[in-house]
Amino acid sequence: MRVTRPAPCSYIRGMVEQRLASDISSRPECHDDLASAGFRRVENWVYRPICSHCQACQPLRIPAGNGLNGDLILSRGDKRIIKKNRHITREILPNQATHDHFALFQKYLTSRHGDGQMADMDFDSYATMVETSPIDTVLVEYRDGDDVFGVILVDLQKDGVSLVYSFFDPEKSALSPGRFMILDCAAIAYQLSLPYVYLGYYIRDCNKMNYKAQFKRAEVFVHGNWQVLNGDDPLANA
């Protein structure tokens, strides 16, 4: 394990972040235990924030299920989203980079994260992100007819699926593609008899990250334990 140098926070303006990180390429068997303790994977590395002045980043996971089976509870809005996307098809693919996925990736970043760290990624960098993994990793591809609707890079863990990175067609925003794909991954996890879907970090004061608290029975990793978010105020645990 090593501690990274202080750097501008990617999520909260004016803050500085540090991470505890480890290369697990020679020890892939360590990944699942580290993931269940709040670490996230990027290529061959796992990391978690260790900012002494801030504990805003909280690992978050939701139960597996499809609303009929499993522990996931669907809201009325979730049910409407699933109904609106009945025409979307899904295929689980090897984690191999393709140019049609990359084109959608660029379109998504330009629309949603044009000022982010990934905005200038070329195809080779994208391919490295997708294909470099010491563990079992797949791409979940969604299509609207012949067009790519969205893609998620997914790690398969012993206790769930971890959504490493997702992107979708911003022109399809009326269909709530991001939430739909998360709900569908909860159904995939249930089909695989895995109890959880790991969604990365929940940050109350970051609009790009606090939507995760809207999922019913979401859990955050706080003080070494997974805790259900407060049902009356989903932001209360942050």
Residue 160 near residue 195 (C-beta atoms within 8 A): yes
pLDDT at residue 237 above 50?
no
For residues 198 and 191, give the distance between their C-alpha atoms in angstroms, rounded to a whole number.
Answer: 16
pLDDT at residue 52 above 80?
yes
- Confidence class of residue 233 from pLDDT cuts 50, 70 and 90? very low
Judged by average pLDDT, the poorest of 3-17, 62-76, 121-135, 178-192 is 3-17
pTM of structure: 0.93
Q: What is the pLDDT of residues 200-212, one digit of tens each?
A: 999 988 888 889 9
Q: Which residues of 48-65 are buried (b: 16+ CB within 10 A; e: fewer)?
A: bbebeeeebbbbbbbbbb
pLDDT value of residue 184: 98
Q: Which residues of 12-46 are buried (b: 16+ CB within 10 A; e: fewer)?
A: beeeebbbebbebeeeeeebbebbbebbbbeeebb
Structure tokens at 58: 């909280």
| DSSP 8-state code for residue 65 | B
- Confidence class of residue 230 from pLDDT cuts 50, 70 and 90? low
For residues 213 and 219, give the distance between their C-alpha atoms in angstroms, rounded to a whole number.
Answer: 9
For residues 5 and 163, give the distance between their C-alpha atoms in angstroms, rounded to a whole number.
Answer: 26
Residue 32 near residue 167 (C-beta atoms within 8 A): no
pLDDT value of residue 143: 98
- Confidence class of residue 65 from pLDDT cuts 50, 70 and 90? very high
What DSSP assignment string belongs to 89-133? EEEEEES---HHHHHHHHHHHHHH-TTSTTTT--HHHHHHHHH--
Domains annotated on the chain, with CATH: 63-200 (3.40.630.30)
Q: What is the pLDDT of residues 118-174, one digit of tens each?
A: 878 999 999 999 999 999 999 999 999 999 999 999 999 999 999 999 999 999 999
Inter-axis angle of helices 123-131 and 99-112, nearest 10: 100
- Number of CB atoms found within 10 A of residue 91's CB: 9
Strand partners, 160: 157, 196
First to last CA, the chain: 26
